[in-house]
Amino acid sequence: MSRSPEWPDGVPVPPHLYVPGKTRRHPEDWFDDIKASVSSATPVRDLHETQAFRAGIAYLDAGFFWECHEVLEAVWMRTQDPSPERDMVQALIQLANAQLKVLMGRPRASLRLCDMVDAHLQRCPAGRLVLGVAPEDIRSRAGKLRNDVIDAL
C-alpha cells in the first residue's frame, strides 16, 4: 500500500486522525507493514529500533493517539511479562489512550488511564532508559495531561 508523505526515519504519516465515534477508521491493512517490523526474531533489547516502536513514539508526539496504540501493540506482544520493557510499552499505550479519551470527551476515563500510566512506570527502574525512553519523561507527560484534564473539569 502506498503511503505518503513520510516523517523523518521513514515513518508513514497516517492520512487522518482516527477518533472513535467522530472520524472514520483507517483501512484495515494500513498499519500492517509497520507492525510487521516486529517479529519473533526481534530481540527485546532491539524493539525500540523497530519501525513499529519509532512510529508509535512519532504518532504519540504528533497527536495520532489511536494510531500510536495500534502500532505499539505489536511491540507489546513481543515483550516479556513481567519486564520493564512491557511496562514501558504499556505506559506509552495507556498515555495515548488517555489523550484519546480527552478527544472523545471522556475526561474521567482519561484520569483513570493516567493512573495506569503511573502504575506501569513505578515498575520501571528509576534513572534508566527503558527501550530508549526515560520513565520520568512519560511520567511528566501523564502528570501534565492529568492536570490539564482536572483544570478543565
> What pLDDT does residue 5 have?
74
Rounded to whole angstroms, the Cα distance separating 129 from 115 reads: 21
pLDDT tens for residues 85-136? 999 999 999 999 999 999 999 999 999 999 999 999 999 998 999 999 999 9
**CB of 92 within 8 A of CB of 132?**
no
**CB of 64 within 8 A of CB of 17?**
yes
The CATH fold assigned to 31-152 is: Hyaluronidase domain-like (1.10.3450)
Each domain of the chain, given as residue ranges in start order, spans 31-152
pLDDT tens for residues 18-63? 999 999 999 999 999 999 999 999 999 999 999 999 999 999 999 9
Query: How many residues are listed for the chain in this entry?
Result: 153
